[in-house]
Amino acid sequence: MIILLTTFASALLYMSYGQDCNINYETLPQLGRRARNYAVAENEPMLFDEDLDNSKWYSVGQNNMPTNYSSLYIGNCGTYYPIWMNGSIPNEGDGAVYRTACIMSFSSSCSVKKIIQVRNCTTHMIYKLEPTTHTSAYCFDIKPAPSFKSAFAGVKYELVFIEETTVFGHMQIKKPNLIFFCAFNKSNDEDMFYTITW
């Protein structure tokens, strides 16, 4: 099992960006799963952005929302209905700009519009996003990580006994099961995300 630790440069470069960008922001949750080609595993929950807080700025590193829906499809970006941005990515000097984000559906590339704000802070982009419906999430084209570290993590195993009641009435049978755990300690750095392969 290999764990890739990837980090965005934004945390280290916090001091160097412009005065106007010197505001509180949080890392957008689940950024790595918002890539348009992200493959959702069986039983993995889909991403929905109904809980985003539209009073907060979210940092997305050097990544951006797709600005063209021509190669974006229903089911991409870890969600059912991906959201793209109909407008250009702002430059450094532009300050916070308003843009229209579009929820894609089967019938339209822009079935529902959300007004969002975007700001180019040189070292990273920040977005102010409206919460969406229970079936859609904001899509981001994730650039290859600028730095990563790979490490082997400990796989622990345990033999457990799961109780089962048989058809013969009151008899309890304890059925053996071997369980494997992938255990590793996460870093406190919120800009770090993990790719786990095993």
Which structure tokens are listed for 125? 């982009």
Strand partners, 112: 103
Which window, 12-20, 89-97, 131-139, 165-173, contacts ligand NAG (CB under 6 A)?
A: 89-97
Which structure tokens are listed for 1? 């099992």
Among 12, 44, 154, 196, interactor with ligand NAG by CB under 6 A: 154
- Judge whether 74 and 82 are in contact, CB under 8 Å: yes
Indicate whether 75 belongs to the interface with ligand NAG (CB under 6 A). Answer: no
Residue 88, Cα to own-chain centre: how many angstroms?
22
Indicate whether 3 belongs to the interface with ligand NAG (CB under 6 A). Answer: no
What span, in angstroms and rounded, lies between the C-alpha atoms of 30 and 19? 28
Among 109, 117, 133, 135, interactor with ligand NAG by CB under 6 A: 109
Which window, 20-28, 64-72, 133-141, 189-197, contacts ligand NAG (CB under 6 A)?
A: 64-72
Which structure tokens are listed for 183? 């255990």
Which structure tokens are listed for 165? 């009641």
Among 64, 79, 123, 136, interactor with ligand NAG by CB under 6 A: 64
What span, in angstroms and rounded, lies between the C-alpha atoms of 189 and 106? 38
* Beta carbon nearer to ligand NAG, 156 or 174: 156
The CA-CA-CA angle for residues 135, 140, 141, to 5°, reads: 135
Site string for ligand NAG, 116-135 (x = CB under 6 A): ----x----x----------
Q: Which positions lie near ligand NAG, rule CB under 6 A?
A: 62, 64, 68, 70, 86, 89, 91-92, 102, 109-110, 120, 125, 154, 183-185
